[in-house]
Amino acid sequence: MPLRPKAQYEQLAIDLELGRKVVDLGLEDRRVLLEDGGTIGWDILCLATGSDSRRLPGFEDALYLRDLDQAVRLKERLDEGGALDILGAGFIGCEVAAAAAQKGLRVRVFEALAQPLVRVLGPELGAYLAGAHREHGVEMRLNTTTSTADLVAVGSVPRTMDGPELDNGIAVDQSGRTSIPSVFAAGDVTRFFHPLYQSRIRVEHFQTSERQGFAVGRTMAGAPTDYTEVPWFWSDQYDLNIQYVGAGLAWDSTVTRGDFGKPPFTVFYLAGGALIAATGINDHHTIARVRRVMEARKSVTTQQLEDPSFDLRRALA
């Protein structure tokens, strides 16, 4: 599945070298060494090597859903029917569980933590999501694990290389610069500095990789661009549209807009009184507006957050 037509690369004067693995970045002489012995010189280098599924020993024969071949095999497995065991109740595990249950499969999900997505959503919202799956016939086994599974979905690990500073990914600034001059990195291999949080964050969702990559490309081309968008992504499970804005950082309090458990409603996450994230259940209007508030770094009171009659766009004025 080509990302772009071959002719488009030719029109843009891009040399696309497929099937040639880089084994050394050649940082001293600025010439990468390829596995076949060839070399390619560079003036500016960008590492966009992405991430891979976190693999678990003993589950070598399980599906990990990271490439097209795995996706095709998963579709075939769902079409077969029967039972499906999933290890991991993150976004991928829960989405596959929902799809399988709706196709009539008997689904079991094994999760080591107390609730699905508890590190991102918190215990209350995680329990709500677990309940939604159980209502659709999914057997949600929490605080436990398994020795066998059809699908393993326990997160990803960045594909890093020797050279740049590492920090659970390649450490970069808000424009994609690494610790080495003229070497940049983009996408979910990076842990990039975000001005809103005043710290480095790593986000595994494709949209953030794409948008941050745009900023890195402009900077490399001579138009310095900071990536300042607040990460945002979504997940569709049954009739629930779950939208999240934030970076999965620790919070110390929450505020709910609407009736918790009765969509539409949104949970806001705060740290030291500052809004750092939000999760909306069938409440895309609220999430769209709170994204703008967070990116503009406008302050909002807890009373305004929990009051459905308060239009968050007023906070931008």
CATH of the domain at 275: 3.30.390.30
CA distance 40 to 258: 57
Indicate whether 214 and 70 sit together in one domain.
Answer: no
- Per the domain annotation, does 243 fall within a domain? no
pLDDT score for 3:
84
- Per the domain annotation, does 226 fall within a domain? no
Indicate whether 74 and 126 sit together in one domain.
Answer: yes
Last residue of a domain, one of 137, 152, 167: 152
Sheet of 170-172, strand order:
170-172, 190-194, 199-201
Total of domains in the chain: 3
CA distance 277 to 247: 7
What does each of the 317 residues of the chain score in pLDDT, given as a tens digit?
A: 788 899 999 999 999 999 999 999 999 999 999 999 999 999 999 999 999 999 999 999 999 998 899 999 999 999 999 999 999 999 999 999 999 999 999 999 999 999 999 999 999 999 999 999 999 999 999 999 999 999 999 999 999 988 999 999 999 999 999 999 999 999 999 999 999 999 999 998 889 999 999 999 999 999 999 999 999 999 999 999 999 999 999 999 999 999 999 999 999 999 999 999 999 999 999 999 999 999 999 999 999 999 999 999 999 98
Question: Most distant CA pair in the chain: distance in Å?
Answer: 65
Domain CATH code at residue 188? 3.50.50.60
Q: Which residue has the tokens 């999430």?
A: 287
Indicate whether 176 and 294 sit together in one domain.
Answer: no
- Per the domain annotation, does 214 fall within a domain? yes
pLDDT score for 161:
86
Indicate whether 146 and 93 sit together in one domain.
Answer: yes
Domain that holds residue 300: 250-316
Indicate whether 138 and 255 sit together in one domain.
Answer: no
Indicate whether 92 and 141 sit together in one domain.
Answer: yes
CA distance 247 to 68: 27
Indicate whether 94 and 173 sit together in one domain.
Answer: no
Indicate whether 79 and 148 sit together in one domain.
Answer: yes
Q: pTM for the complete prediction?
A: 0.92
Indicate whether 289 and 271 sit together in one domain.
Answer: yes
* DSSP-derived secondary structure letter, 64: -
Provide the token pair at 257: 């807009």
- Per the domain annotation, does 59 fall within a domain? no
- Per the domain annotation, does 106 fall within a domain? yes
- Per the domain annotation, does 242 fall within a domain? no
Helices and strands in the chain, H and E counts? 8, 19
Nearest Cα residue to 110 out of 168, 157, 56, 73: 56
Indicate whether 215 and 177 sit together in one domain.
Answer: yes
Summarize pLDDT for 219-243 with one digit per residue, the tens.
999 999 999 999 999 999 999 999 9
Indicate whether 25 and 101 sit together in one domain.
Answer: no
Indicate whether 188 and 45 sit together in one domain.
Answer: yes
- Per the domain annotation, does 56 fall within a domain? no
CA distance 217 to 220: 5
β-bridge mates for residue 241, sequence order: 236
- Per the domain annotation, does 117 fall within a domain? yes
